[in-house]
Structure 1
């Protein structure tokens, strides 16, 4: 029996021949230029010997042909011909071992190669003819420790490496299997495991290769002390409370990435890195170093919207990302809307909203946040006039990576005028919500789905309204068509209802309305649903909406979106299908930016009522859903 044993020693060319050609013979384009032999150095281009290269015998193996072309200096240096036929023959002969090593790395240990140089033609022709022979296969894969003893199978099995018996004896596959060893040990707490040797035994009679990896797993590691570098304004406690382990807990590599993502979500760092110490401590613990870079803590912003019926709107805000040193976010903002609104009301009646919001991360528990907000509102839609002061406190907690729940309390004092009748309302609410997000992108989803459910019981302690409960459910789905994201089918459905009071017992601002850029396009804001004697929107106690879009990218940053929307608002607590649906259809343009798509939608109502415009135009940032 004829055997070859290759160990990982630089002096042995045989190992390199078995492994990836990138290790044995790197592509010329990646090599530093080496001085050419004297007879390969031309005094002038006229003295050069131009040539072409043909590789024959492996035409049916595209991957093997590509591999040979990648490692061949003959191929890589065709634009730099040698000065003479002698130089060309030397270049061809120098290529022989590189090509042989590439064949062995692909599992062809018995390949036969012939290189013929024909200098009688112009240009000269170099023909490389290969008979690859049978491909060797892997006979066994073994894992052993530094003393040659088998590794415990409860930590790692050979079959976990993706290199099984009967697989082609390819060098890249051997290296890929080796690369999987230390991550698998790290997953089980062996943070400093390393591969100390690799043995390859080739049986030329059986045409097989036996693979043995020698591994020093080290000891299971526990987390040690935590050090933090780069803090200036942010307090260390803000970092420490985001760490998902305690000193002495078993090491798990996924926890380092989890901590990095959680720290980045605080919004106060422009970069976050976590790393273990280079060596463990004598007691088997490993110190962890957190390296952060803080970003600018103060920020400002502004935005604008436009709708044919809604008119122009604008907003501006100022905020601080680290108000008290613990990554608390504070933001104040102002919004004005209804500029140029197409309305039956006084054109000078604009809508105003002044808001202040404070968000504290890790409130009472890691990843649980508290949001306090106050808002002063003055709005004048066609349906009603409203002045209100709203105070709220919401606690939000992620249940899993995709599911978030929230619970809070609200207080609202409002004055609502509807058809010249004024009501004063004092409401205490307990908003609760559950959100599931399985989509791949928050701003521009191309696959997955989302679902949200929200319910708010309102207690009318004082004033003119009764107690009632509002519930709303919304779902959307996204389906990419083809191998790219150039075609995405998107759909949305909304269902809502109010129970506990009649239509006139519920304040006008708490009823359901439909129509507008984020609802049923083609109709004006709040223009879908019941209307009063003045033909103004009256609102309802139940709501149904549905939309479908085809998002088509026609260029890297440009897309068109044909769509159709449907829905209605009903006076009863549950939708009455006998009242039918309102439909709107149109087409939109999307300009994709790093902060989300800019949206321009034009739509027409398909079931117009008195007072409906023939079309609507909407401009905003973000997809419709």
Structure 2
């Protein structure tokens, strides 16, 4: 009990200490509030987001800097003017100071004025594209507010349209005529189309290891085509995604002033293909652990990758050999082959697995992909303490897996916005004394969104089901669903939520539902805080859901960003503990929970 309260107290003290670290000037005033008067078009929250100066919040004091505040006032007026309120201005502002407490409050008076609307839109100088095509692309409409950003976006859209048709030297000049009395505006775009260019030669510079054909297969353009600027950018992105290059620049270069052709120059700087990584860490489940990896990412200059990795911890030993071919048989299908040997000590049993997995996948779009996989494993269970199972036994497993994923996260290691949605469907055959055939379906979703510039909300959902086919009676222990611990329900012991035997050991289940909600907030530089709520359970049968409802646990935690990744400490409260369960758990680990 003392350990539990000590852990909670430690986290709270660190959070409070961190909130005071930002006070780098003793004489600086903290801002208690910022209010706006005269605003009806935009809410105060929207206007606050325009400003750098903010009001203090819990564990996050904000300080007043006069020079920054003056720039904020200019930006507020500019924000209105760029969104159609050309007469908007800051009428006045007032600051009330409390010298004793070193606090102040700010009040800003705004004059919004009348909005200016678009009266008409015109294009001049075009012959390649008709007016109707250009007007659709422009995206400005009569009667809409005059917004400077939309005019700029329309200019860029027209330039891109022409550049994708080979007119690389096209000029687009927007013009705006404003009637201040009527608050109306005429917008026109004057276009100088100039000459259309086609591709003569593709020139590649900087290759030392990678073969030229590896570059050429990822290009979406070829000699003789009309230059398409979007294809140049898409090709540049595709080459970056191979992971072979430090830098890539693709650009058209002139042959001479009279030619209607251009060469496409690809300038490349290759990465060193060999790589050795080693790391150490600590987690509440693994305890001390060490990881080592040897990679070579450009085998024989063909972009094929080979690797050898190993992991050693208190409960796990693993060694793995991997091979990746990004273009299988000359088709853009990625093939991964993994051969592995692992040993894990789990609650209730130890398991050794030897086998391999082959995955063939294809990118469907910028954010989506699908794959099919086959895995084969020889599995040996030892020190089995779970009831109704022998102390030692072995099984072979074959399975076929179909997967699909959509992932548009901004950063896979420390996400601040975006979402992931994945679906895995598997059919497996397990050979023990008898043959068992079972299927697995798992849906996993994650969602991240910023609430403020220092706070994000993160949501995770995992739902899965297992089913037996024919006369099958058993699903191997290591293939069942488990939950509880640092990556699922953090108020409970590892794998201790769900079906247990008479000894209190987890036996796993056939249905799983786990939800996680986190509010993540940056406190000071590399230090962050988290408030979370986890709920879910594992069941053997659907009818058990009524008997064993979902378990839940709120909690708090700390995050510390290091050059090697996120270090996290979480304390989850088990607010309705059953007999033998702890009233909470403290976990240390690396990386975000999800």
Same fold (TM over 0.5): yes
**Does the C-alpha gap of structure 1 residues 298 and 578 become closer, same or farther in structure 2, counting only changes over 3 Å?**
same
Contact 2:151 2:174 in 1 (8 A): no
Say if 2:426 is the partner of 1:449.
no
Deviation for aligned residue 1:252: 2.3
**Does the C-alpha gap of structure 1 residues 459 and 362 become closer, same or farther in structure 2, counting only changes over 3 Å?**
same
Contact 1:384 1:509 in 2 (8 A): no
1:325-359 Cα deviation digits (max 9, x unpaired)? 2122222111122x2xxxxxxxxxx4211111111
Query: How far apart, in 2, do the equivalents of 1:390 and 1:208 lie?
Result: 70
Query: Counterpart in 2 of 1:489?
Result: 457
Deviation for aligned residue 1:271: 0.6
**Does the C-alpha gap of structure 1 residues 523 and 251 become closer, same or farther in structure 2, counting only changes over 3 Å?**
same
Query: Counterpart in 2 of 1:359?
Result: 324
Q: 1:377 aligns with which of 342, 346, 353?
A: 342
Say if 2:164 is the partner of 1:187.
yes
Say if 2:592 is the partner of 1:623.
yes
Q: 2:271 aligns with which of 295, 303, 318?
A: 295
Residue pairs, 1:244-283, within 5 angstroms: 244-279=220-255
Query: Counterpart in 2 of 1:421?
Result: 391
How many pairs align?
481
TM-score (ref. length: structure 2): 0.70
Query: Counterpart in 2 of 1:92?
Result: none
Deviation for aligned residue 1:239: 1.2
Query: Counterpart in 2 of 1:143?
Result: 124
1:333-389 Cα deviation digits (max 9, x unpaired)? 11122x2xxxxxxxxxx4211111111112245642110001101111112211111
**Does the C-alpha gap of structure 1 residues 504 and 161 become closer, same or farther in structure 2, counting only changes over 3 Å?**
closer
Query: Counterpart in 1 of 2:468?
Result: 500
Contact 1:447 1:478 in 2 (8 A): yes
**Does the C-alpha gap of structure 1 residues 185 and 530 become closer, same or farther in structure 2, counting only changes over 3 Å?**
same
Contact 1:141 1:164 in 2 (8 A): no
Contact 1:543 1:575 in 2 (8 A): no
Query: How far apart, in 2, do the equivalents of 1:199 and 1:514 lie?
Result: 62
In terms of fraction of residues, the more strand-rich structure is 2
Deviation for aligned residue 1:454: 0.7
Query: Counterpart in 2 of 1:558?
Result: 527
Query: Counterpart in 2 of 1:392?
Result: 357
**Does the C-alpha gap of structure 1 residues 403 and 174 become closer, same or farther in structure 2, counting only changes over 3 Å?**
closer
1:188 is paired with a residue of what secondary structure?
coil
Query: How far apart, in 1, do the equivalents of 2:516 and 2:178 lie?
Result: 64
Contact 2:370 2:404 in 1 (8 A): yes
**Does the C-alpha gap of structure 1 residues 556 and 577 become closer, same or farther in structure 2, counting only changes over 3 Å?**
farther
2:298 is paired with a residue of what secondary structure?
coil
Query: Counterpart in 1 of 2:333?
Result: 368
**Does the C-alpha gap of structure 1 residues 422 and 184 become closer, same or farther in structure 2, counting only changes over 3 Å?**
same
Query: Counterpart in 2 of 1:39?
Result: none
**Does the C-alpha gap of structure 1 residues 401 and 211 become closer, same or farther in structure 2, counting only changes over 3 Å?**
closer
Query: How far apart, in 1, do the equivalents of 2:185 and 2:368 lie?
Result: 51
Query: Counterpart in 1 of 2:375?
Result: 410
Deviation for aligned residue 1:176: 8.5
Query: Counterpart in 1 of 2:577?
Result: 608
Query: Counterpart in 1 of 2:290?
Result: 314
Deviation for aligned residue 1:431: 1.4
Deviation for aligned residue 1:318: 1.6
Which runs of 5 or more residues in structure 2 are unaligned? 1-73, 88-115
**Does the C-alpha gap of structure 1 residues 208 and 476 become closer, same or farther in structure 2, counting only changes over 3 Å?**
closer
Query: How far apart, in 1, do the equivalents of 2:439 and 2:343 lie?
Result: 24
Contact 2:221 2:232 in 1 (8 A): no
Query: How far apart, in 2, do the equivalents of 1:372 and 1:237 lie?
Result: 23
Deviation for aligned residue 1:615: 3.5
Query: How far apart, in 2, do the equivalents of 1:499 and 1:289 lie?
Result: 56
Query: How far apart, in 2, do the equivalents of 1:438 and 1:212 lie?
Result: 35
Contact 2:317 2:344 in 1 (8 A): yes
Q: 1:241 aligns with which of 217, 227, 252?
A: 217
Query: How far apart, in 2, do the equivalents of 1:172 and 1:363 lie?
Result: 45
2:232 is paired with a residue of what secondary structure?
helix
1:380 is paired with a residue of what secondary structure?
strand
2:213 is paired with a residue of what secondary structure?
helix
Deviation for aligned residue 1:612: 3.8
Say if 2:516 is the partner of 1:547.
yes
Query: How far apart, in 2, do the equivalents of 1:561 and 1:520 lie?
Result: 15
Query: Counterpart in 1 of 2:482?
Result: 513
Query: How far apart, in 2, do the equivalents of 1:200 and 1:472 lie?
Result: 55
Query: How far apart, in 1, do the equivalents of 2:546 and 2:148 lie?
Result: 67
1:411-452 Cα deviation digits (max 9, x unpaired)? 111112333432221111111111122433322333332211
Aligned-CA RMSD value: 4.1
Query: Counterpart in 2 of 1:436?
Result: 406
Q: 1:523 aligns with which of 492, 507, 510?
A: 492
Query: How far apart, in 2, do the equivalents of 1:201 and 1:475 lie?
Result: 50
Query: Counterpart in 2 of 1:129?
Result: none
Say if 2:455 is the partner of 1:478.
no
Query: How far apart, in 2, do the equivalents of 1:213 and 1:496 lie?
Result: 58
**Does the C-alpha gap of structure 1 residues 222 and 537 become closer, same or farther in structure 2, counting only changes over 3 Å?**
same
In terms of mean alpha carbon deviation, does 269-278 or 517-526 score higher? Answer: 517-526
**Does the C-alpha gap of structure 1 residues 533 and 288 become closer, same or farther in structure 2, counting only changes over 3 Å?**
same
Query: How far apart, in 1, do the equivalents of 2:528 and 2:135 lie?
Result: 49
Q: 1:538 aligns with which of 501, 507, 511?
A: 507
Contact 2:304 2:325 in 1 (8 A): yes
**Does the C-alpha gap of structure 1 residues 165 and 303 become closer, same or farther in structure 2, counting only changes over 3 Å?**
same
Contact 2:254 2:261 in 1 (8 A): no
1:261 is paired with a residue of what secondary structure?
helix
Q: 2:305 aligns with which of 329, 354, 374?
A: 329
Query: How far apart, in 2, do the equivalents of 1:313 and 1:545 lie?
Result: 27
1:497 is paired with a residue of what secondary structure?
strand
